[in-house]
Structure 1
Amino acid sequence: MFSLSDEVLKGKNILDCPAGACSITAIGNQKGLDITACDIAYYHSVRELEHKGIEDINHAMFQMEKVKEKYKWSFFKTIEGLRKHRKSALHNCVADMVTHPERYIPVTLPSMPFKDNEFDILLSAHFLFMYADRLDYDFHLSTIKEMLRVTKEEIRIFPIVDLEGNRYEHLDRLYTFLHERGCSVEEKVVRYEFQENANTMLVIKKNKPI
Structure 2
Amino acid sequence: MKLDIERVVFIGRTFEEYCDMFQLCDEDIQNKKILDCPAGACSFTAVANAKGGDVTACDVVYQFDGEALYEKGLQDVIHTMEHMEKAKDNYIWNYFSSVEDLRKHRLEALQVCGTDMKHNQEKYVYATLPNLPFQDEEFDIVLSAHFLFMYGDRFDYKFHVDTITELLRVAKQEIRIFPCIDLKGERYEFLDELIGNLRNNGCEVEEVQVPYEFQKNGNTMLQIKKGC
TM-score range, shorter chain: over 0.9
Where does structure 1 differ by over 3 angstroms across 4 or more consecutive aligned residues?
none
Q: Distance in 2 between matches of 1:26 and 1:9?
A: 12
Q: Distance in 1 between matches of 2:65 and 2:81?
A: 24
Q: Distance in 2 between matches of 1:182 and 1:9?
A: 26
* Residue deviations 1:39-81 (CA, integer Å, cap 9, x gap): 0010001011101111111111001111101111111101011
1:182 Cα shift?
A: 0.9
What is residue 10 of structure 2 aligned with on the other side? none
Q: Distance in 1 between matches of 2:152 and 2:74?
A: 25
1:8 Cα shift?
A: 2.8
What is residue 88 of structure 2 aligned with on the other side? 68
Identity value in percent: 57
What is residue 109 of structure 1 aligned with on the other side? 129
What is residue 197 of structure 1 aligned with on the other side? 217
Q: Distance in 1 between matches of 2:46 and 2:40?
A: 12
Matched, 1:124 2:144: yes
1:1-80 maps to which residues of 2 (within 5 A)?
Answer: 1-80=21-100
1:9 Cα shift?
A: 2.8
Q: Distance in 1 between matches of 2:107 and 2:25?
A: 24
1:100 to 107, 112, 120: 120
1:145 Cα shift?
A: 0.6
SS of aligned partner of 2:31? coil
Judge conservation of contact 2:29–2:48 (CA < 8 Å) in 1.
Answer: no
What letter matches 1:148 in structure 2? L
Q: Distance in 1 between matches of 2:167 and 2:25?
A: 22
Q: Distance in 1 between matches of 2:226 and 2:126?
A: 25
2:157 to 108, 132, 137: 137
Taking structure 2 as the reference length, the TM-score comes to 0.90
SS of aligned partner of 2:172? strand
What letter matches 1:87 in structure 2? L
1:133 Cα shift?
A: 1.1
What is residue 150 of structure 1 aligned with on the other side? 170
Once superposed, what is the RMSD of the aligned Cα atoms? 0.8
Gaps of 5+ in 1: none
* Residue deviations 1:156-194 (CA, integer Å, cap 9, x gap): 000000011111011122112211221000011011000
